[in-house]
Structure 1
Amino acid sequence: MSGWEGLLHGLSVAVTPENLLFALIGTIVGTLIGVLPGIGPALTIALLLPMTYGLEPASAFIMFAGIYYGAMYGGSTTAILLKTPGESGSVITAIDGNKMARKGRGAAALATAAIGSFVAGTIATLLLAFFAPWMVKVAIQLGAQDYFALMVVAFLTVSALVGSSPLRGLISMSLGLTVGIVGLDFQSGQQRLTFEQVSLLDGIDTVVLIVALFALGEVLYVAAHQVSSRFDVMQVKKGKNWMSREDWRRAWRPWLRGTSIGFPLGVIPAGGSEIPTFLSYTLERKLSKRPQEFGQGAIEGVAGPEAANNANAAGTLVPLLTLGIPTSATAAVILVAFQQYGIQPGPQLLDTQSALVWGLIASLLIANVILLGLNLPLIGLWVKILKIPKPYLFAGIMVFALLGTYAVNGSSFDVGVLLFFGVVGYLMRRFGFPVSPMIVGAILGPLAEVQLRRALDIAGGDIGTLVSTPFTIVVYLTLAVVLLGGFLLRRPKRHNTLAEADRDDEVPDVREPSDR
């Protein structure tokens, strides 16, 4: 099925009244959660997973698609108004967007972010529709050693490029791999790290693990380190309520350039949305005729990174749907959602679950339209929600997490596992270990073990088979380039960009729960 045929088939699935309602609910919830600092799309989908077991798979994933895109935009709202990004992809938006808001141009900044999200999301979703079938044709030709190479790329890029320390990222990934081997060995039937607990024979439930690390870990961290009980609402000057003609002229090129940066870096495991947004900001600054405005309210500094952020979100779905490999924390949670419905993403998914996949892709287009019409008139409401005291907000999240975890299997043991890994999540945040690599390690670890054993069994134990195909050689060389390029482009520029942008003001709270 070609891209156009698949997209039309997906629209026939997504535009039913029931699925349109789920898309609307997902978009509203995603935007609502996105504007709350410290909560991102991964946590939102993880919390809602236990509540969607009674839904049809297509309806559930259409709602998740709305949450995903809604949270991407919602994070820019709080970044612009309060200089507190709701998720890591909005870090750069906080620099110039907040300066625009202080100068009375907050509405223009929010409109730039909304329209940029729509443009980038629409283009990237179309690219996803046409790129996915081609990716499947390539994936069918891959062997076990090729899949293992791709999983190694996912492990190392997410571990090395997420967070401030590659070593901490690798340690976090190792913890995830350890969690992934708990249970019965799939070949020998031997118990591994079960400590004679019958409840651990099937392994640790990944939904419980994700909710514990994201939700409980965040709640404990905030309770231990939060000084003020309320968000500080910034006072801004009054200004125009829309973008001027000059704003449009300066924004449309950054929208397109941001899209061209964000989508391919989503397809390639490049460590999440931080890198494409920083690259987009740097590029716009170099190309601008007014570089002195960057850090002081340049509209290009909002348009480019926001487009890159949303295009990156669509790009991460390509390897997830066609190869079953998540390249971000949110993609990892969506992979778990597929597995909860007994569906394993991979090369056969477009054939075996065509209605589900194309409906999901088409719903991204629908979510974009809903976002554009929904968020512009509701900015005042999001600002009021930000005034909710943090103790009430996070207490509600904890209750929701506990009830949702118990509802998964009706097991009090799962609640104990939730509390244990909640403490682990707190300690990881406390000492600067990113959570995303641990999630990716726990989910991909068992799959990587299967492919590794399969490759070695076929080759009679010859370890050289792991680098015996042209594909594996290209993948490992690309991995080396990505890791080296990420360190050279990201680390110095991140420090310099934030320092130059805020000489006279505080640096925004850019920490995301999954990356602390």
Structure 2
Amino acid sequence: MFEVFANLGLGFTVALTLKNIGLCFLGCLIGTLVGVLPGVGPVATIAILLPVTLSLDPTGALIMLAGIYYGAQYGGSTTAILVNIPGEATAVVTALDGHQMARNGQGGLALGLAAIGSFIAGTVATIVIAAVGVPMTRFGLLFGPAEYFSLMIMGLVLAVVLAHGSILKAVSMIAVGVLLSCIGADMETGRERMTFDLPMLHDGIEFVVIAMGIFGFAEIFKNLADPEKRDVVRGSIGRLWPTWTELKQNFAPMLRGTALGSILGVLPGNGAILGPFASYAVEKRLSKTPELFGKGMPAAVAGPESANNAGAQTSFIPLLTLGLPPNAVMALMVGAMMIQGIVPGPQVIERNPDLFWGLIASMWIGNLMLVIINLPLIGLWVKLLQIPYRLLFPGIVVFCCIGLFSISNDPAQVIMAAIFGLVGFTLFKLGFEAAPLALGFVLGDLLEQKLRQALIISNGDPTTFLRSPLSAGLLLVAVIALVMAVLPTIKRSRDEVFVENS
């Protein structure tokens, strides 16, 4: 325990510099803004801002991007409660009772409980990450090429299992992502692969281009094609801070939500989304008045919002300790680290302790900032909710194009991102998720690298992946998860849940 707080002390000395505090505040402010404005989202925003991180040091860049991610979780609850439009997928559950509370004149109470629950969850999650960071990193050092290959296979399989809708579509998206990562020069021979003699493909495809295309530009196309209707609560939102009695009544739901979110956030395949749904189900089952759920129940806001923020933060655990991104946002974080020349994985804590512990400490600072940003400025966020999207997207497009061009001063990058934007929009219309494609692309290079290393070490013997107990165990988990996902009964229940949550 002493070691945990000593490491956090190192982190706070890094995070509390004036520059990093400013970047943390900027990230939280931008995150809240994109969470409040439906149709933007943290994935698209982080993709758009990746070129900006080139001018920042690695620690400051990751602190800002992390602030955008968990800041969007806060902002998404504001939109869900006041407008009944979840700014984030994880805020869907919050909208069920939060908006009813707002219609009943208790919007301020719902916002206050959401903010307090998120802060408590963020504090606990920060300590959890600090506590498990070192043991997980030591565990990660046991991994050789074969174990890393099996770990990434397991991560991709779990991403398929936890994806919404068709398993076949999720598998195809991951396969496309892996194939796209192979475009360009072979890592060993230098021969070109799948370039079709196009000069723009000779050096492969930049992750920023794909991310900004399938998330940034595609999100713009989606919002222009189907603009949302906003019904902002016009009446008084009431008091923001709960009474001591209301806080005591909702403290247990906050703790249960924090525990559920912390556990589920670690799962690959965006397991953090499951946290709020699981918390809502638990609170409804434990409640003495389950019939009031859906009509403005405070516990149905406090619990899921705590799970939401806890899951957002613990999703950093597999990224920082094993180098395995559990969701699309973490895949973008991997891209940001690689742009800075940092290879994610267990070596980060040894080679870049300032970055590792500084990022963790900044999460608690960011959560404190978010309480200050969200509640006193609620009037400003309500005003922003009334801005039509048609006035926002031209500025977003210009910013995207400037960022893309600045990477290599090559207009082809902008053209490729636009093409991927159309591809992302088409995938959305056909019911395909873009997140598995991004995960496949990010892990594709590492997957090929570890596969080749393992086969070279074993003189081409494919059984090397089964001779290591750890590697064989990871592959076994992947096979079991995939078999369970394709069983008819499990598949039917998955489809029913997806219909209910849509």
Same fold judged by TM-score > 0.5? Answer: yes
Tell me, yes or no, if the aligned pair for 2:164 and 2:498 is still in contact at 8 Å.
no
User: 2:49 corresponds to which letter in structure 1?
Assistant: L
Q: Is 1:393 equivalent to 2:392 in the alignment?
A: yes
What residue is the counterpart of 1:463 in the other structure? 462
SS of 2:425's equivalent in the other structure is helix
- 1:424-463 aligned within 5 A: 424-463=423-462
Is the alpha carbon distance of 1:67 and 1:191 closer, same or farther for their aligned partners in structure 2, counting shifts above 3 Å? same
**How far is the alpha carbon of 1:165 from its aligned partner?**
2.2
Tell me, yes or no, if the aligned pair for 2:76 and 2:91 is still in contact at 8 Å.
yes
Structure 1 gap segments, 5+ residues each = 499-509, 511-516
Tell me, yes or no, if the aligned pair for 1:150 and 1:475 is still in contact at 8 Å.
yes
Counterpart CA distance in 2 for 1:79 and 1:122 is 23
User: 1:260 corresponds to which letter in structure 2?
Assistant: A
Counterpart CA distance in 1 for 2:311 and 2:476 is 23
TM-score between both structures, scaled by the size of structure 1: 0.92
Structure 2 gap segments, 5+ residues each = none
Is the alpha carbon distance of 1:396 and 1:244 closer, same or farther for their aligned partners in structure 2, counting shifts above 3 Å? same
User: 1:471 corresponds to which letter in structure 2?
Assistant: L
What residue is the counterpart of 1:166 in the other structure? 167
What residue is the counterpart of 2:249 in the other structure? 250
Measured against aligned partners, the alpha-carbon deviations of 1:268-292 in whole angstroms (never above 9, x if no partner) come to 3153422122111111111111111
Tell me, yes or no, if the aligned pair for 1:116 and 1:255 is still in contact at 8 Å.
yes
Tell me, yes or no, if the aligned pair for 2:149 and 2:450 is still in contact at 8 Å.
yes
**How far is the alpha carbon of 1:439 from its aligned partner?**
0.5
What residue is the counterpart of 1:513 in the other structure? none
**How far is the alpha carbon of 1:202 from its aligned partner?**
1.9
Is the alpha carbon distance of 1:238 and 1:42 closer, same or farther for their aligned partners in structure 2, counting shifts above 3 Å? closer
Counterpart CA distance in 2 for 1:482 and 1:92 is 26
- 1:126-275 aligned within 5 A: 126-226=127-227, 231-236=230-235, 239-275=238-274
SS of 1:10's equivalent in the other structure is helix
User: 1:72 corresponds to which letter in structure 2?
Assistant: Q
User: 2:134 corresponds to which letter in structure 1?
Assistant: P
Measured against aligned partners, the alpha-carbon deviations of 1:221-249 in whole angstroms (never above 9, x if no partner) come to 222233x6x63323346544432344212
Counterpart CA distance in 1 for 2:75 and 2:478 is 32
What residue is the counterpart of 1:506 in the other structure? none
**How far is the alpha carbon of 1:494 from its aligned partner?**
5.5
User: 1:467 corresponds to which letter in structure 2?
Assistant: L
Tell me, yes or no, if the aligned pair for 1:110 and 1:376 is still in contact at 8 Å.
yes
Counterpart CA distance in 1 for 2:25 and 2:171 is 38
Counterpart CA distance in 1 for 2:226 and 2:372 is 38
- 1:9-408 aligned within 5 A: 9-226=10-227, 231-236=230-235, 239-408=238-407
Counterpart CA distance in 2 for 1:25 and 1:237 is 29
**How far is the alpha carbon of 1:81 from its aligned partner?**
0.9
Counterpart CA distance in 1 for 2:130 and 2:276 is 23
Counterpart CA distance in 1 for 2:240 and 2:9 is 37
Tell me, yes or no, if the aligned pair for 2:145 and 2:450 is still in contact at 8 Å.
yes
Q: Is 1:410 equivalent to 2:424 in the alignment?
A: no
Counterpart CA distance in 2 for 1:80 and 1:153 is 37
**How far is the alpha carbon of 1:320 from its aligned partner?**
0.6
**How far is the alpha carbon of 1:425 from its aligned partner?**
0.8
TM-score between both structures, scaled by the size of structure 2: 0.94
User: 1:173 corresponds to which letter in structure 2?
Assistant: I
SS of 1:188's equivalent in the other structure is coil
Counterpart CA distance in 1 for 2:50 and 2:43 is 11
- Bigger drift between 335-344 and 162-171 goes to 162-171
SS of 1:289's equivalent in the other structure is coil
User: 1:112 corresponds to which letter in structure 2?
Assistant: L
Is the alpha carbon distance of 1:425 and 1:12 closer, same or farther for their aligned partners in structure 2, counting shifts above 3 Å? same
User: 2:409 corresponds to which letter in structure 1?
Assistant: G
Is the alpha carbon distance of 1:286 and 1:493 closer, same or farther for their aligned partners in structure 2, counting shifts above 3 Å? farther
Tell me, yes or no, if the aligned pair for 2:44 and 2:219 is still in contact at 8 Å.
no
**How far is the alpha carbon of 1:146 from its aligned partner?**
1.3
Tell me, yes or no, if the aligned pair for 1:159 and 1:172 is still in contact at 8 Å.
no
SS of 1:463's equivalent in the other structure is coil
User: 1:383 corresponds to which letter in structure 2?
Assistant: V
What residue is the counterpart of 1:502 in the other structure? none
SS of 1:92's equivalent in the other structure is helix
Measured against aligned partners, the alpha-carbon deviations of 1:429-448 in whole angstroms (never above 9, x if no partner) come to 11111110011111111111
**How far is the alpha carbon of 1:3 from its aligned partner?**
2.2
Counterpart CA distance in 2 for 1:257 and 1:481 is 29
Is the alpha carbon distance of 1:265 and 1:241 closer, same or farther for their aligned partners in structure 2, counting shifts above 3 Å? closer
Counterpart CA distance in 1 for 2:304 and 2:492 is 19
Counterpart CA distance in 1 for 2:473 and 2:254 is 31
Counterpart CA distance in 2 for 1:144 and 1:106 is 52
User: 1:368 corresponds to which letter in structure 2?
Assistant: N
Counterpart CA distance in 1 for 2:462 and 2:304 is 43
- Bigger drift between 326-335 and 464-473 goes to 464-473
Tell me, yes or no, if the aligned pair for 1:92 and 1:305 is still in contact at 8 Å.
yes
**How far is the alpha carbon of 1:480 from its aligned partner?**
5.2
Q: Percent identity of the aligned residues?
A: 41
Is the alpha carbon distance of 1:494 and 1:422 closer, same or farther for their aligned partners in structure 2, counting shifts above 3 Å? closer
Tell me, yes or no, if the aligned pair for 1:80 and 1:109 is still in contact at 8 Å.
yes
Measured against aligned partners, the alpha-carbon deviations of 1:75-109 in whole angstroms (never above 9, x if no partner) come to 11101111111111111111111111111111111
Is the alpha carbon distance of 1:241 and 1:325 closer, same or farther for their aligned partners in structure 2, counting shifts above 3 Å? closer
**How far is the alpha carbon of 1:489 from its aligned partner?**
7.3
User: 1:289 corresponds to which letter in structure 2?
Assistant: K
Counterpart CA distance in 2 for 1:271 and 1:482 is 15
How many matched pairs?
496
Counterpart CA distance in 2 for 1:427 and 1:153 is 28
Is the alpha carbon distance of 1:493 and 1:284 closer, same or farther for their aligned partners in structure 2, counting shifts above 3 Å? farther
Tell me, yes or no, if the aligned pair for 2:58 and 2:340 is still in contact at 8 Å.
yes
**How far is the alpha carbon of 1:125 from its aligned partner?**
1.0
